[in-house]
Amino acid sequence: MLKKIHLITLFILALASSCKEEKIANHRDEKLPKPNIIWFVAEDISPRFACFGDTLALTPTIDAIAKKGMVYQNAFTVSGVCAPSRSSMITGCYPSSIGTQHMRQAKGVLPMPGVPSYNAVPPPDIKAFPELLRTSGYWTASYRKLDYQFGSPFTIWDTISETPTWRMRAKADEKRPFFIYNTYEITHEINIWPDSTKTKFFEDKNINLSKLAKDVVVRPSLDSLGRKIKLSDITLPPYFPDTELARDHIQRLYYNAMRMDQQIAKVIADLKEDGLEDDTILFFMSDHGDCLPRGKRWLYDSGLKSPLIIYIPPKYLPKGFKQPGNDSNLYSFVDLPATVLEMAGVEIPEWIQGKSIISELKEKPRKYVYGSRDRMDNRYDVRRAIRSKNYKYIKNFEPEKPYQQHIEFLERMPLMHQILEMKEKGQLNPVQSAWLADSKPEDELYDIVKDPYEINNLAQDPKFATVKNTMEKDLMSWMESIDDLYLIDEKDQAEKAWPNGEQPTTSDVTFTIKNNILTLQSNTPGASIAYRKPNAERWEIYSHPLSNIEGHIEAKAVRYGYKPSKTTTYTN
């Protein structure tokens, strides 16, 4: 069970339900049409933008969203790597509670001997929130990179595209509100590699370039970016050696952010052209922190702290919600689905583990955010983290393993290669070499305010014993509350999901007609069912029995992680 509910009376449950419905009503005027919602999701970048205090990159589009919206100064992903993080962003559940915690679970570009290849199969109630939006009448579209760990169920998106846009809606869907999930691969880790490194990688792995994003194959020219960044202006974290290569990699990260800003500008221009600016809520975020060594994949703020900006048009502002502004409370990206559902006037399911940013967390801010790390490529290492405004506590469940295990993709990065070479030659100082140690402490504790780079471990300092013990206890309590899978061998997890290594197939949809009421059913627990009427392109999500059926209806089903069923047909 994902969310352990204490034994309480039916009266209180009913009251909680009514409060949730009231909260939705209070925060969205039901007389207004439902808002359009667009996510702009960068890859692999920390809050390197002017509204977060870093002015090196020229990002006028993102700056403009921030100037009129709310900037969340303490927002964190639940994992420092894309697929587990994205699974939480799409479901509102922690990866280590629904089986999406390992990076990566489906077959990838790099061979991983000894590691099972499978889709996660989340508990049957779990749905991606865009599917819930579709059930309530939304049209949904996504960039082609999905990466949720449980496959790509056809019920989530109306359209998947290189350039998703509301302009793709069929004529019959033009009046539907839309939700669009844009992803920007220009800021991905591979794009801070020099072109020569990327080309060699593509050749070594026989990668079909036609299947890659255009700006992954060839980066747009620097000439159009409008600003040159001096290497001398770049601030290096103390755990990096001060080399030209280190500065070069960070410079390239800024340039990629500037390229992304121009891509977002095109979407904003289209909104203006179509007169949709005042009807569309905008989110800007990243899927986790910087794609640099000791950033991506790690549980330090360099890996988890991410940009988050939300702009709500005035007519959709929740009661008492003021923008523009800055919010320094703690937020987790597991909170995003609940937030979007509330904005759309859709009831938030009980199984969602996140909380709405615009209501519940506004009234009662988080005390903590949480993070997890499990397998990275073919290297297992279980770590969990809990962070307050002032402290970060990390539990290393396998302290005998090195901090930085060999990960081929990471070590293709010239900077990582240089750092490892300097380590071997004894050219790193103690701070620069500490995160490359052959083992690690079981406990880590950092004063985030005084030590933002998380260098000085206070876990063994008697003065901080109370802080450490409290946070450790609270971390373990949280892990228990979500039924964390940290003790489960991945081979057992894979076998449970795909018995004998075979992907299960969702049972076909069957039809029952009674008193002219048509009921659709699949015998697979948790299957999402969709149907399509004659001459219709769109698969409608089945949520209740159908009446007044004329002609025939096509239907099919999918359980997340399974193959979809065959299409079956009912004829009246």
How far is 258 from 30, CA to CA, in rounded Å?
A: 38
Beta bridge partners of 541: 530
How far is 543 from 138, CA to CA, in rounded Å?
A: 14
Region for 130 from its dihedrals, namely left if φ exceeds 0, alpha if ψ lies in -120 to 50, beta otherwise = alpha
Of 551, 558, 555, 557, nearest to 569 by C-alpha is 555
pLDDT band at residue 68 using 50, 70 and 90 as cut-offs:
very high
The two tokens of residue 331 are: 């937020």
The two tokens of residue 27 are: 């925060």
Determine if the pTM surpasses 0.75. yes
Looking up tokens 């929740």 gives: 318
Instruction: State the amino acid at position 357 in one-letter form.
Output: I
- What count of Cα atoms within 13 Å lies in the side-chain half-sphere of residue 37? 26
Asked if 440 and 403 touch (Cβ cutoff 8 Å), the reply is: yes
**Rounded mean pLDDT of 321-326?**
94
Q: Which residues neighbour 523 within 8 Å (Cβ) at sequence distance 6 or greater?
A: 507, 510
The answer to whether residue 24 scores a pLDDT higher than 60 is: no
Looking up tokens 């009231």 gives: 22
pLDDT number for residue 269: 98
pLDDT number for residue 532: 95
**Rounded mean pLDDT of 374-403?**
97
CATH H-level superfamily of 504-571: Immunoglobulins (2.60.40.10)
Local structure of 341: helix, strand or coil: helix
How far is 558 from 66, CA to CA, in rounded Å?
A: 39
Residues above pLDDT 90, as percent of the chain: 86
Burial per residue of 203-235, b for 16 or more beta-carbon CB atoms within 10 angstroms, e otherwise: eeeeeeeeeebebbeebbeeeebeeebeeeebe
Asked if 184 and 559 touch (Cβ cutoff 8 Å), the reply is: no
How far is 253 from 255, CA to CA, in rounded Å?
A: 5
Catalytic residue, chosen from 19, 51, 82, 93, is 82
- Whether 82 is catalytic: yes
Provide the sign of the torsion angle of the four alpha carbons 144, 150, 153, 156, taken in this order.
Answer: negative
Of 309, 188, 198, 209, nearest to 256 by C-alpha is 188
Q: Which residues neighbour 491 within 8 Å (Cβ) at sequence distance 6 or greater?
A: 116
Q: Hey, where are the domains in the chain? A: 10-107+118-366, 383-500, 504-571
The two tokens of residue 104 are: 């990566």
pLDDT number for residue 320: 85
The values of phi and psi at residue 416, to 5°, are -65, -40
The answer to whether residue 1 scores a pLDDT higher than 50 is: no
How far is 98 from 79, CA to CA, in rounded Å?
A: 14
Of 110, 111, 89, 108, nearest to 100 by C-alpha is 89
pLDDT number for residue 513: 93
For the chain, the maximum distance between any two Cα atoms, rounded to a whole number of angstroms, is 81
Between 221-230, 255-264, 342-351, 376-385, the lowest mean confidence (pLDDT) is in 221-230
How far is 542 from 22, CA to CA, in rounded Å?
A: 26
CATH H-level superfamily of 10-107+118-366: Alkaline Phosphatase, subunit A (3.40.720.10)
Beta bridge partners of 555: 531, 568
The answer to whether residue 14 scores a pLDDT higher than 80 is: no
How far is 77 from 298, CA to CA, in rounded Å?
A: 11
pLDDT band at residue 28 using 50, 70 and 90 as cut-offs:
low
How far is 284 from 279, CA to CA, in rounded Å?
A: 17
Between 87-96, 113-122, 205-214, 389-398, the lowest mean confidence (pLDDT) is in 205-214
How far is 272 from 266, CA to CA, in rounded Å?
A: 10
The answer to whether residue 27 scores a pLDDT higher than 80 is: no
- Measured distance between the N- and C-terminal CA atoms of the chain, rounded to whole angstroms: 40
How far is 473 from 71, CA to CA, in rounded Å?
A: 31
The two tokens of residue 546 are: 């159908």
Task: Give the DSSP letter of residue 564.
Answer: P
